[in-house]
Amino acid sequence: MSLRSASHRLASVAKWQLNATLAQNQTTAKRFGMALVAGASTSRRSLNIASRPSDLVGNTPLIDLNKILVNHGVDVSNGTRLVGKLESLGPCSSVKDRIGRSMIDDAEEKGLIIPGKTTLVEPTSGNTGIALAFIARERGYRCILTMPETMSIERRMMLLSLGCEVVLTPKETAVPGALAKAHEILDELGPGNGYMLQQFENEANPKVHRETTGPEIWRDTDGSVDIFVSGIGTGGTISGVSQYIKGSEKYNMPPLKPELKTVAVEPREQMLITEAKGGVRGDNQGPHRIQGMGAGLVPKILDLDVIDEVIPVNSDDAQTMASELWMIGLPVGVSAGAIVNAAVQVCARPESAGKMAVAVIPSFGERYFTHPMFDSIKAKAEGLAKQPLPEPFDNTEYGFATPRG
């Protein structure tokens, strides 16, 4: 694709984002009885202040991860580069912030949901639920979320703190069990009272990645991205980003770089995407510890055609890599560990020499402190003991046996 065409597409995206922001500001102004006048206050620099939390979604930064490549013996002197797309820096700290806003915006625009009347019901592995929860709270919706019992206590606490109702389902049934429970709740609410956004089927999911995430990666790498590595949760991120960069006739997306290599990552313990692409599932298929991917189904919105390779990563390797990322000062969840593990494998290949890989960092690590990967850290933290203070403090006043401890 020509530079002129690429520039035109980026300009179109920027125009869409500007129009969306103006529309949001008009809505906010009406809500508070104010009026926005075109061209007003042009005599001074405009203030960069978001009007509501969901306006902070998107425009996450990229970060260089070559230190990880070097630590794994990958030669970076030839220009090979690994960068992370820090979706962990969204307002509620995950890539799902994007689809939470997109799906609710879309349903509101279509008149399918009404604040204060409609109850949102959704099966979720956690982060989509948090995204829906903060926007539901922002806009006045009741929100009921179903999720497998394996989801971390931190995620549950986030949801409850945002006013959501949480319903846990058996871990053995994964997301399909949570989906069945959500349908039951929807039926109990009665016709017209509840609405399921259906993240695994909702076209507003990949759409937001075609309109925002993909353009951001293209813009911030100056079109230099050669390899895109993403986990498969709902399939929205990998589908939308790849459709934007590779091009898609279905969505009227002319190709920017059709040769982009798209790598999907899934748990080795649950190789459904591998199977869907014609591969063979491995042994010991079942529950895994990589929260946020491997939902136990092949999502309807997943565009299998854009995927060039599927790399399965086992839970132990994902945890190890997540710990390595923490050790370079980047707090991430175990799904980021799986994705970066796969990205390192790809970057280590001779055919990747001199190429740039972008790996999605889906969520922030503090949300996973009760995950097994933190068991030893938790034990160490709980085993810490207070230390005596120097003179002139009398440490007997603080529970020590002698003045000096």
Active site residues: 96, 335
| Through-space distance between the first and last CA atoms of the chain, rounded to whole angstroms | 72
For residue 361, give every residue at least 6 positions away whose Cβ sits within 8 Å of its Cβ, in sequence order, or none.
Answer: 63, 84, 85, 86, 87, 88, 330, 332, 336, 339, 340
The HSE-up count of residue 325 (CA atoms within 13 Å, CB side) is: 34
Structural element, H or E, at residue 311: strand 309-313
Q: Report how far Cα 50 is from the mean position of its chain's Cα atoms.
A: 21
User: What 3-state class would DSSP assign to 104?
Assistant: helix
Helical H runs in 261-314? Answer: 272-276
What is the DSSP code (8-state) at residue 384? -
User: Environment class of residue 191 by beta-carbon count within 10 Å: exposed (0-12), middle (13-18) or buried (19+)?
Assistant: exposed
Structural element, H or E, at residue 23: helix 3-31
Distance CA 106, CA 370 (A): 34
For residue 273, give every residue at least 6 positions away whose Cβ sits within 8 Å of its Cβ, in sequence order, or none.
Answer: 232, 264, 266, 298, 302, 304, 307, 310
